[in-house]
Amino acid sequence: MALNDLSLSLQFGSIARHLAAHRAALPRHKVIRWIRRSLEADAEMTVRIVDEEEGRALNRDYRQKDYATNVLTFDYATEPMVMADLVLCAPVIEKEAKELKIPLQTHYAHLLVHGTLHAQGWDHETSDEDAEEMEARETEILTAMGYPDPYGKARVKPSRR
> Where residue 80 sits, what CATH number does that domain have?
3.40.390.30
| Position 95 in a domain | yes
Q: Is residue 114 part of a domain?
A: yes
Alpha carbon distance 4, 2 (integer Å): 7
pLDDT tens across 77-127, in order?
A: 999 999 999 999 999 999 999 999 999 999 999 999 999 999 999 998 888
Per the domain annotation, does 80 fall within a domain? yes
Residue 151 domain-assigned (yes or no)? no
Could you tell me if residue 154 is inside a domain? no
Look up the domain containing 68 and give its range: 6-144
Looking at residue 154, what is its pLDDT? 47
pLDDT > 90 in the chain, percent: 81
Query: What is the number of structural domains in the chain?
Result: 1
Q: Give CA 27 to chain center in angstroms.
A: 15
Evaluate whether residue 155 is within a structural domain: no
Name the CA radius of gyration of the chain, rounded: 14
In a domain, 31, yes or no: yes
Residues 6+ apart with CB under 8 A from 122: 130, 133, 134, 137
